[in-house]
Amino acid sequence: MTTPLTALDHEIEKNYKHNFIVNFFDGTAFWFGASFFAYRTILPVYIANLTDSEFVIALLSVILSTGWLLPQLFTANWVQRLPLKKYAPVNVGFWSERLPILLLVPSAWLATISTQWALVASMICIAWHIVGAGMIAVGWQDMIAKVFPLDRRGRFFGITNFGGTATGILGASIVAWLLGRHEFPYSYMWAFFLGSVFIFISWFFLAMTKEPRIEPETTRVSNQEYWKKLPAIVRQNANFRRYLIAQIFMGGGNLSIGFLAVYAIQRWDLPDSQAGIYTVAMLIGQALSNLVFGWLADKKGNKLVLEIAVLTTALSAGIAALAPSGGWFLLVFFLGGITNAGFMLAGIMIVFEFCAPEIRPTYIGINNTFNGIFSIVTPLLGGWLAATFGYQFMFATTFVVCLFGLSLLRFWVHEPRTSNLKATP
C-alpha cells in the first residue's frame, strides 16, 4: 500500500527536474571553483609560504575543520522558522561565504609589501569564508532535504559531487600549472581570482532553486527556550547520541589532515606545484567514489558509506606514516578523496534520517556544532604531536584513532533508516 501524495509532494515532484539541474550546476561550479583554493593542499601550502610556524598551520587546520561546523547550532532556531530555507544560502551566503574568496586576491598581493600583513589578511578572509559558510549551512542542508525526496538524495549528491570533482581535476591541473609558471604571490592571486569567479557562478544557479514555501507549524520560541530543549533531544534519541559519540573518533583524520601536503613538500623538498598534483589525485579518488557512494547510500544506507570513508581515512594515515617517498602521497590523497566523498555525501544525509522533518534543522545543528567543538582540539593536538614526536607518529596516531571510530560506527550505531528511531523535542 502506497501513501497518497500530498500537495507538497506534488510540488516537489513538479520541480524535481528543475531543482536537480540548477543544483547540479551549483555544486559543480562550486567544487570547480574550490579546487583553486583547495582546503587540504593549496591553502596550507600558501600559508606555509607566509610563515614557518607550525602553530599557524595548525590554527589554519582548526579554522578549516571547525569554522563550517561550529556556527550551525547557533543558526538552527532561525532556520527552523524560515518558510523558505534558501534565504540563508542565497541572501546571506553571498556576503558571508562568497565575497571573502574574492578578497583573498588583494590579501595575497600584500605579500609583495609585507608577508605579515598578507598572513593576517589571508587568515581573516579564510576564517570569514569558512565561518560564513557555517552560518548558512543548516539552511542549505535543510533546503536540499526539502526539495529532494529521501530515495533520490544519494543520487543527487553522488552525481553532483562527481561533476564537481571531475571538473575540479581540471581546476587543480590549472592550479599546478599556475604555481609552476608564476612567482609567489602572483600564482596564488590568479588561483584565488579564478576560484572566486566560479564560486559566484555557483551562487547564480543556487538562487534559481524552486523551493516550496512552508510556514513553520511550531510557535516561535526564544533562543533561551530553544537551547533548554536541546539536552532532552539528545537524551531521548539513544541512536543519535551514540552516533555523536562515535564521530569524536571517526573524525580522527583531523589530527593530520592539515599537515599532509606540507609534510610531503618539506620532507622531500618538492615544489609548491606538487600541491596541485596532490589535489588532482584527491579529486580523482573523490570523483570515482561519488557515483558509487550515491547509489550505495540510496540502496544500502548512509551508514555503510561512512564506514568506508572512515576506513580510507585510517588507510591514508597509515600509508603517510610509512611512505618512503613523496610519490606515495598520490595514493594518500587518492584515499583522502574517497574519504571526502563519503563524509560530504553520507555525513550530511544521515543526520536527516535521525528525526522528523520539522525538527531537522535542530538535528543538523546539534550534530555539526558537536563535531565542531571536538574539531578545535584535534588539529591542535595533531600540531603538538608533530612538533613533539614527529609527523610519522602523528600519522600513526590518526590510524589508530580512526580504526577505533570505525568499530564504534560499525557495531554500536544502528542504521537510522531501518531502525525507525524518531526523536521528538
Q: Express each pLDDT in 262-297 by its tens digit.
A: 899 889 988 877 887 888 898 889 888 988 998 898
Identify the burial level of 154 via C-beta atoms within 10 angstroms of its C-beta, where 0-12 means exposed, 13-18 middle and 19 or more buried: buried
Which amino acid, 185? Answer: P
pLDDT in tens, 85-99: 999 999 999 999 999
| Highest averaged pLDDT of the listed ranges 63-67, 80-84, 184-188, 298-302 | 184-188
pLDDT of res. 279: 81
Lowest mean pLDDT among 192-201, 319-328, 400-409, 414-423: 414-423
Mean residue pLDDT of the chain comes to 89
* Residue 1 neighbours by CB under 8 Å, 6+ apart: none
pLDDT in tens, 101-112: 999 999 999 999
Please state the CATH superfamily assignment of the domain spanning residues 14-207+237-413 in this structure.
Answer: MFS general substrate transporter like domains (1.20.1250.20)
Nearest to 264 by CA among 253, 254, 275: 275
Does this model's pTM top 0.85? no
Average pLDDT over every residue of 159-170: 85
Interatomic CA distance for residues 246 and 406, integer angstroms: 8
pLDDT of res. 406: 96
Q: Using 50, 70 and 90 to split pLDDT, how confident is the model at 197?
A: very high
Yes or no: say if 192 and 36 are a contact pair by the CB < 8 Å rule: yes
pLDDT of res. 322: 94
pLDDT of res. 5: 57
Any idea what the Cα angle at residue 307 is, between residues 306 and 313, rounded to 5°?
A: 90
Percent of the chain with pLDDT over 90: 51
pLDDT in tens, 56-75: 887 888 888 788 888 888 88
Nearest to 167 by CA among 284, 305, 85: 284
